[in-house]
A and B are shown apart, each in its own frame.
Chain A
Amino acid sequence: MSTKGIARLFQRPPRFLCPSVSRQFVRTLKSIHPGKNSSRFNHGHNLPILGSSHTAAFLRKEPMLPLRTGALAIKKGMTGVYDPETCRRVPCTVLQLDRCQVISHKRRDTHGYWAVQVGSGTKEARNVSRPERGHFAAQEVPLKEHVVEFRVKDEEGLPGVGSIITADLFKEGQFVDTRAVTRGMGFAGGMKRWGFSGQPASHGTSLTHRAMGSAGPSQGSGSRVLPGKKMAGRMGGEMHTVQNLKVVKVDAENGIVVVHGAVPGPKNSMVKIQDAIKKPWPEVDAAVGLMMPEGMPTRLAAEV
């Protein structure tokens, strides 16, 4: 027997030293070579990642995630801007940033993903609960009215905690994605909610002009309504994304970002703006649009 085999023999203490371990009287092949994975469940380090797992979802989304943080803005309304070259008027939405600040980070090792927590506006201390105030105080940032997260690709996309995000984060001419909660329409019928055609106004139609119609086939197809069938119900009041809006104008002094086209939601509602994921990333410096307030200890992302 080689020295390796002897070492393996004496890995476990002799049986007489641990009498609680039941002695096997019949020596089988299994007892001579105990398997590495004794569990009957299929888990381990080298197994392929399951498609429905968190890890798989992260890896799937990772190549599409923006490289840098976005900004939280208030929708102020719409107006028109004339392009001096083409002489065309383009409809625009005016968004304003208000005390938009980085509050904390979400880290891959701790939280499972990379994200920047951004707050905007301000709130009186007496209107904020103690746990929330504790969160802000721990990060040494002022209280915020609205708090959202912006997913970023990696650690380089995390700006220093406390840095103020200004409007010049976005460059004129670049494309952005805007996300906001749409106007609540209340309980809406199928025609309004899903664009169903309804029924004809005449030709014998009686009292059924805006009905949904059939909800599905009958016997032979299961005699049931398939899950996810479009029906009447609550419409609006949910997060909606409008992609690829061009940034027409940026005014860092007043925190104004003007984007081409419409943005979901009513006036004075919160809008998330981030670089468009379906366009090439804008070529900008990493520090642009991020201002560290005076008197604030400069903390790098790695220290937090």
Chain B
Amino acid sequence: MATPSRSLRPLGPLKQALRRCRAERQQQRRHASTEALYPSLQPRYPPPSPGFRPSQAIKQNRFEEGMRKIPVIPPPRSTIKACRDPIQAVTQSQLTVLDPNGARTRLFAPSNPDRAQPGDILHVRLRNGEPFSGVCLSIRQRHQPIDTAILLRNQLTRIGVEMWFKVYSPNVEAIEVVQRKEKRARRANLYYMRQSRHDVGSVEGVVRGWLRQKSGGNVRVKGRDANSSKKKNNKRGRN
């Protein structure tokens, strides 16, 4: 495109100069007056006085100034504060009835060194029904102490029998330790005793001896442990 001759457009350079001038002025304004252009950058409030506490100020200013106050009636006594753990309360009231002298709790309390443990031979007397004795395989303590239960294993007529007993059930009259395990069991649940090579077999002989001793008869010790009778059983060719 050919440049137009000077004679044709005498005011051409003047116009260009004016345009540059305007652009410069705008640029200058932009740099000089940033604060004027952006009010958000300016401090909105004067600096706080020396004794100013923000938390106080928030509390005071937050709540409905100048509106009619609505009265608030104080709440009544809270039962939740009176009884924080109602399940515990229900359980305790149960325990005072079911276990008045605390013998059952003590028999399975972790703080008691003489407590019944898995592997011990226990004898359970029932209010209605035959007494049952067997090796304790497991002690189940669920959400509440009231749900404590024991699993006993024995052999009746050469058939393995397992029975769960609720420790605090009113049907259970007494739980007695017939014989302790020589060494503390290294499992909480002795389910391996269900296998034939670990099965102790019937504990009837041990329990009978213990009953005789209890009633004051002559003591006939067959074996020190429930496990000691195992070998004999094995020799009989049961396994």
A residues engaging B (CB < 8 A)?
74, 76-82, 84, 87, 89, 92, 94, 96-99, 101, 122, 125-126, 130, 133-134, 136-137, 140-143, 164, 167, 249, 251, 253-256, 258, 293
Please name all residues of chain A whose beta carbon is closer than 8 Å to the beta carbon of B83 when the two chains form the complex: 96, 253-256
Please name all residues of chain A whose beta carbon is closer than 8 Å to the beta carbon of B91 when the two chains form the complex: 79
Number of interface residues of B (CB under 8 A): 37
Residue B79 at the A interface, CB < 8 A?
yes
B72, B86, B98, B171: residue with the most chain A Cβ atoms closer than 10 Å: B86
Q: A89-B166, A136-B73, A137-B72 are contacts. A80–B79 as well, Cβ < 8 Å?
A: no
Please name all residues of chain A whose beta carbon is closer than 8 Å to the beta carbon of B80 when the two chains form the complex: 74, 96, 98, 255
Please name all residues of chain B whose beta carbon is closer than 8 Å to the beta carbon of A89 when the two chains form the complex: 166, 169
Q: A81-B94, A82-B94, A256-B86 are contacts. A97–B70 as well, Cβ < 8 Å?
A: no
Please name all residues of chain A whose beta carbon is closer than 8 Å to the beta carbon of B79 when the two chains form the complex: 96-99, 167, 253-255
Q: A78-B143, A79-B144, A255-B83 are contacts. A87–B76 as well, Cβ < 8 Å?
A: no
Contact B90 A87 (CB under 8 A): no
Q: Chain A nearest CB: distance from B48 CB in Å? A: 24
CA A293 to CA B76, docked complex, whole Å: 8
11 more contacts with CB within 8 A, not counting A87-B170, A96-B83, A167-B79, are A79-B87, A80-B146, A82-B94, A94-B90, A98-B79, A101-B76, A130-B67, A137-B70, A137-B72, A142-B75, A249-B93
18 contacts between A and B (CB under 8 A): A79-B91, A79-B147, A82-B94, A82-B170, A84-B97, A89-B169, A92-B90, A96-B80, A98-B80, A101-B76, A126-B62, A133-B72, A140-B73, A142-B73, A142-B75, A249-B90, A251-B93, A255-B80
CA A71 to CA B169, docked complex, whole Å: 32
Closest chain A residue to B144, Cβ basis: A79
Please name all residues of chain B whose beta carbon is closer than 8 Å to the beta carbon of A82 when the two chains form the complex: 94, 98, 146, 168-170
Please name all residues of chain B whose beta carbon is closer than 8 Å to the beta carbon of A99 when the two chains form the complex: 75-79
Please name all residues of chain A whose beta carbon is closer than 8 Å to the beta carbon of B143 when the two chains form the complex: 77-79
Give residues 77-104 of B contacting A (CB, 8 Å): 77-80, 82-83, 86-87, 89-91, 93-94, 97-98
CA A80 to CA B169, docked complex, whole Å: 11
CA A176 to CA B143, docked complex, whole Å: 25
Q: Chain B nearest CB: distance from A247 CB in Å? A: 13
Contact A254 B86 (CB under 8 A): yes
Give residues 34-90 of B contacting A (CB, 8 Å): 62-64, 67, 70-80, 82-83, 86-87, 89-90
Q: Chain B nearest CB: distance from A83 CB in Å? A: 8
CA A89 to CA B75, docked complex, whole Å: 38
Give residues 170-188 of B contacting A (CB, 8 Å): 170-171
Q: Chain A nearest CB: distance from B104 CB in Å? A: 12
A99, A130, A136, A140: residue with the most chain B Cβ atoms closer than 10 Å: A99
Residue B127 at the A interface, CB < 8 A?
yes
Q: Chain A nearest CB: distance from B75 CB in Å? A: 4
CA A258 to CA B75, docked complex, whole Å: 25
State the 8 A-B residue pairs at the shortest beta-carbon distance, nearest first. A255-B79, A254-B83, A87-B171, A122-B75, A142-B75, A142-B73, A133-B70, A98-B80
CA A164 to CA B146, docked complex, whole Å: 32
Please name all residues of chain B whose beta carbon is closer than 8 Å to the beta carbon of A97 when the two chains form the complex: 79
Please name all residues of chain B whose beta carbon is closer than 8 Å to the beta carbon of A87 when the two chains form the complex: 127-128, 169-171
Please name all residues of chain A whose beta carbon is closer than 8 Å to the beta carbon of B166 when the two chains form the complex: 89
Please name all residues of chain B whose beta carbon is closer than 8 Å to the beta carbon of A140 when the two chains form the complex: 73
CA A126 to CA B67, docked complex, whole Å: 14
Please name all residues of chain A whose beta carbon is closer than 8 Å to the beta carbon of B86 when the two chains form the complex: 76, 94, 96, 251, 254-256
CA A99 to CA B144, docked complex, whole Å: 27
Q: Chain B nearest CB: distance from A220 CB in Å? A: 56
CA A125 to CA B82, docked complex, whole Å: 23
CA A253 to CA B90, docked complex, whole Å: 12
Please name all residues of chain B whose beta carbon is closer than 8 Å to the beta carbon of A249 when the two chains form the complex: 90, 93
Please name all residues of chain B whose beta carbon is closer than 8 Å to the beta carbon of A81 when the two chains form the complex: 90, 94
CA A143 to CA B79, docked complex, whole Å: 16
Please name all residues of chain B whose beta carbon is closer than 8 Å to the beta carbon of A256 when the two chains form the complex: 83, 86, 89-90
Closest chain A residue to B85, Cβ basis: A76
B64, B82, B83, B147: residue with the most chain A Cβ atoms closer than 10 Å: B83
Closest chain A residue to B172, Cβ basis: A87
CA A89 to CA B144, docked complex, whole Å: 13
Q: Chain A nearest CB: distance from B93 CB in Å? A: 8
Please name all residues of chain B whose beta carbon is closer than 8 Å to the beta carbon of A142 when the two chains form the complex: 72-76
Please name all residues of chain A whose beta carbon is closer than 8 Å to the beta carbon of B70 when the two chains form the complex: 130, 133-134, 137
